[in-house]
Amino acid sequence: MSLLLFGILAVIALITAALMVTARNLVHAVLMMVANFGTVAIMYITLSAPFVAVVQVAVYAGAIMVLFLFVVMLLGEQQLSFDEPFAGQRMAAGVLGLLLAIMLLVTLFTASPAVLQTGLTAEQIGRENAQRVGELLYTQYLLPFEATSILLLIAMVGAVVLAKRRLL
Amino acid sequence: MDLGLLVEWIIKSVVIMGVLLTGFAYETWLERKVVSKMQFRIGPNRAGPFGLLLPLADGIKLIFKEELTPAMADKWVFRIAPIMSMVVALITFAVIPVGPSINLFGRVIPLRLADVNIGLMYVLAVSSLGIYGIVLGGWSSNNKYALLGGMRSAAQLISYELALGLSLMGVVMLTGSLSLVDIVNAQAGNFWNWNIFLQPLGFILYGICGLAETNRAPFDLPEAEQELTAGYHTEYSGMKFALFFMAEYINMVNVSAIASTMFLGGWRAPFGFIPEWTGPIWFFIKVITFLFIYIWLRATVPRLRYDQLMNFGWKVLLPLAIANVIVTAITMALRQVYAPNAVVTVTFGSLLLMIAAVFLWRSWTSRSMRRRPPLHGTSAEGAARTA
């Protein structure tokens, strides 16, 4: 049952991802990406991680892609041209993507079985999904968490500086 | 899987959709009646007693209207947009509890579709998707007014979503759970246990942001008639337009239901001695009250200007919402250290914040709210005019 569900979701995710990359129209690409995020979110739910699923929808589909859409509409450049901005871009991207895929597969198959089989305990799955995530973020992963937030802050300030250069 | 459970879920889903769709129809009737009374008019009185059959007549009219698709429109997106709006509006209600568990035919049936442990996050995530219908509808129409309406709505919804989510976080912190069922249970007993008394500022912020999120007056800029003809749904007709219309009204119900659940005890009666099975009635009363306030505001308050809207969202609502979260956190920490009456500290903190907010608002309105941006000429002229 869960394998079948995973299979269907995986196929949908792959199809939407492929359509997103090949779409000529930027708005269609954005839509396909939203569909992809939605499918991945459902996968998280089947993995008993509803909190991550909901955050996926709220942050990526609900906020970031809307901003994408907003910018696409604002700039009005909706049709992509066929020529590459950088010479050999497609080739390089294809090679790098292939390398990444190989690396992921190798990691997956060489990882120790203990890592692969450790699922969530019933306690973690239970009512305290969000609490668990919060606890981990503020104890074990405090430093990366704070570093990420500072990184985001810097990005935001940088964007403001770039946009308001005339006024500074 | 338990077959009975599956049947139960299907029945509940059908009931929720049925109630929301009929509710939508009579909401439009209520709005027309209330607005007309407020404007000393009679309002709908032809179809049926008190015009009660009017929504039915409206529905028939909309079904038989011709469906137009503008030339050069993006046909698929044009078709999908209203559906997205509608789906998002309908599925939000799934996690909202409308009553306690009841015994029916030997089964214990909880009066809600689902109790997920991240209920509130689900609501926020789903409602953040509602924007797609509007933006895509505006974009695919191949009409500049529709596009402008869609863009305005994108900017507006993103801006107010932050304050909306943060205004609810105070309640989540006090309850210690994201589950709407837990939040309602934490407000059990008499009415002074309701969260509105612990989080008055959060309640007001949520009310304002909820208005903005549903694109209702005074925040209905995405469809400002005078400027944009009808905004994002300019090119829509027939049932496609009806879907947008329904989504807006069902979203009003959703926002009212969430406000009741989070701040007014959900289905809980105002006094503890009232039996629990009356829950749905109280829930209904609370939601109707909110809807009435919605309509009342629409009949009373003029629409905001676009720059006012943005300033208000980012410079007033968002800082206040963040301050509310911080004050709630501090008072909760103090409660752990000193353990006095928690209710007093939290309420006190929130009240202090509200007073600060009023002062902030007054000084801010006197400075920037009344300053009009220069309409023409140089900016120096504009500056001289406002000085």
The pLDDT tens digits of the residues spanning B106-121 come to 677 777 777 777 888 8
Q: At residue B3, what are phi and psi to the nearest 5 degrees?
A: -65, -40
Q: Which residues of B are less than 8 Å from A63 in CB distance?
A: 128, 158, 161
Q: Identify whether B117 is part of a domain.
A: yes
One domain for residues A75 and A9: yes
Q: Which residue numbers of B have CB closer than 8 Å to A's CBs?
A: 74, 77, 80, 116-118, 121-122, 124-126, 128-129, 131-132, 135-136, 139-140, 147, 150-151, 154-155, 157-158, 161, 176-179
Specify whether A151 is located in the same domain as A76.
no
Enumerate residues 6+ apart whose C-beta is below 8 A from B157.
Answer: A66, B128, B130, B131, B134, B212, B213
CB contact under 8 A, B157 and A74: no
pLDDT at B280 over 50: yes
Of B124, B147, B158, the CB nearest to A73: B147
A147 within domain boundaries: yes
> Using one digit for the tens of pLDDT, what is the confidence trace for B41-98?
887 887 778 878 888 888 888 888 887 777 777 778 888 888 888 888 888 888 888 8
Residue-wise pLDDT for B293-329, tens only, equals 888 888 888 887 777 788 888 888 888 888 888 888 8
- Rounded to whole angstroms, how far apart are CA atoms B196 and B350? 10
Domain hosting residue A48, numbered range: 1-80
Number of domains into which chain A is organized:
2
Residues of A in contact with B232 (CB under 8 A): none
- B382 assigned to some structural domain: no
Q: Which residue of A lies nearest to B178 if distances are taken between CA atoms?
A: A130
Closest residue on chain B to A65 (Cα): B132
Quick check: is A119 in a domain? Answer: no
Domain limit, last residue, from A80, A107, A139: A80
Question: In what helix (H) or strand (E) does residue B110 lie, and over which residues does it extend?
Answer: strand B107-110
- Across the interface, of A51, A61, A63, the residue whose CB is closest to B118 is A51
Residue B374 belongs to some domain of the structure: no
Poorest-pLDDT segment among B83-87, B221-225, B237-241: B221-225
Choose among A50, A62, A67: nearest Cβ to B118. A50
Q: What is the distance between the alpha carbons of residues B347 and B350, in angstroms, rounded to a whole number?
A: 5
Domain contains B58: yes
Which residue in B124, B129, B140 is closest to A61 by CB distance? B129
- Pick from A69, A129, A131: which is nearest to B135 by CB? A69
> How many domains is chain B built from?
1
Domain presence at residue B341: yes
pLDDT at A122: 58
Same domain, A68 and A4: yes
Identify the closest residue of chain B to A56 by CA–CA distance.
Answer: B125
Residue B364: predicted pLDDT: 64
**Residue-level pLDDT at A100:** 94
Spatial neighbors of B1 by CB under 8 A, at least 6 apart, are none
Do B266 and B283 contact (CB within 8 A), yes or no? yes
Q: Is residue A3 part of a domain?
A: yes
Please tell me the distance from the alpha carbon of residue B17 to that of residue B301, in angstroms, as a whole number.
31
**Separation in Å, CA of B118 to nearest CA in chain A:** 6
Q: DSSP states of B166-197 as a string?
A: HHHHHHHHHHT---HHHHHHHT-SSGGGSHHH
**Chain A residues touching B161 at Cβ < 8 A:** 62-63
Residue B147 belongs to some domain of the structure: yes
* Set of chain B residues whose Cβ sits within 8 Å of the Cβ of A127: 117, 177, 179
Distance from CA of A30 to the nearest CA of B (A): 11
Q: How confident is the model at residue B346 (pLDDT cuts 50, 70, 90)?
A: low
Instruction: Decide if B77 and A62 are in contact by the 8 Å CB cutoff.
Output: no
Give the per-residue pLDDT at B165: 87
Query: Rounded to a whole number, what is the distance in Å from the CA of A114 to chain B's nearest CA?
Result: 29
> Of A61, A80, A99, which marks where a domain is finished?
A80
Identify from A1, A26, A57, A67 which residue to disrupt to test chain B contact, counting B C-beta atoms within 10 A and taking the largest count.
A57
* A74 → chain B, closest CA residue: B151
> Of B125, B136, B177, which has the smallest distance from its Cβ to A58's Cβ?
B125
| Last residue of one domain, picked from the residues A63, A80, A97 | A80
Q: Is the domain of A5 the same as that of A76?
A: yes
Nearest Cα of chain A lies from the Cα of B350 at a distance, in angstroms, of 25
Across chain B, mean pLDDT equals 79
**Do the domain assignments include residue B75?**
yes
Cβ–Cβ of B121/A69 closer than 8 Å?
A: no
Q: A165 φ, ψ to 5°? A: -55, -40
Which of A69, A71, A74, A156 would you mutate first to test chain B, the one with the most B CBs within 10 A? A69
Closest Cα in chain A, distance from residue B36 (Å)? 37
In a domain, A106, yes or no: no
In angstroms, the CA B246 to CA B254 distance is 12
Q: With beta carbons under 8 A apart, name residues in chain B contacting A69.
A: 132, 135-136, 139, 154
- Render each residue's pLDDT in chain A as its tens digit; 168 residues: 677 888 888 899 999 988 888 877 788 888 888 889 989 988 888 877 788 888 888 888 888 888 888 777 777 665 666 666 677 788 888 899 999 999 988 887 777 665 555 555 555 555 566 777 788 888 888 899 899 999 999 998 988 888 877 665
Ramachandran quadrant class, A68 (left: phi over 0; alpha: psi -120 to 50; beta: rest): alpha
State how far residue A34 is from chain B, nearest Cα, in angstroms: 10
User: Cα distance from B89 to chain A (closest Cα, Å)?
Assistant: 14
The answer to whether position A103 is within a domain reads: no
In a domain? residue B377: no
Residue A95: per-residue pLDDT? 92
For residues A4 and A66, membership in a common domain is answered with: yes
- Tell whether the model's pLDDT for residue B381 goes beyond 50: no
Per DSSP, the three-state class of B230 is coil
> Minimal Cα–Cα distance from B144 to chain A, Å?
11
Q: Does A152 fall in a domain? A: yes
Contact B128, A60 (CB under 8 A): no
**A-B contacts at Cβ under 8 angstroms:** 80
Please give the torsion angle defined by the CA atoms of residues A16, A21, A22 and A23, in that order, rounded to the nearest 10 degrees. 80
This model of the complex carries an ipTM of: 0.76
Evaluate whether residue A23 is within a structural domain: yes
- Rg of chain A over CA atoms, in angstroms? 20
Give contacts of B175 with chain A, Cβ < 8 Å.
Answer: none
Question: Is A154 a member of any domain?
Answer: yes
Closest by Cα among B233, B231, B122 to B178: B122
Chain A CA closest to residue B129: A62
